[in-house]
Amino acid sequence: MEYGGLLKAARERSGISQEEMAHQMNMTQSNISKYENNYKEPPLTMFKQWMENTSCQDVAIAFLMGVDGMQMMGQVMEALSSVVGFVSIIF
């Protein structure tokens, strides 16, 4: 499983630079880059700390449970269109 994209997205979503993340994680910016580019696989404890530092625990849980973000968005859009269609029938 490739974690790099998720790690990078979590970091960017939080507005944290690689240098800031390196400081928070007590490692080098080079190591942050290696994790984000899938050159190194993070240990579970580091993955957990990364998600806590970026406040992205919800994303990590969905990812670990195999939830596909695009599939989830499609289901949400489908549900919303059903609700809108139902409301337009009533009114």
pLDDT at 62: 76
Mean pLDDT of the chain, nearest integer: 82
Residue 8 predicted with pLDDT over 60: yes
Average pLDDT score over residue span 44-58 = 90
- Cα(45)–Cα(91) distance, rounded to whole angstroms? 53
Average pLDDT score over residue span 16-20 = 97
Residue 68 predicted with pLDDT over 70: no
- Cα angle 30, 60, 20 (rounded to 5 degrees) comes to 30
Choose the most confident range, by mean pLDDT, from 9-18, 20-29, 77-86.
20-29
- Cα(80)–Cα(42) distance, rounded to whole angstroms? 37
pLDDT at 91: 56
* Nearest CA among 22, 20, 23 for reference residue 32: 22
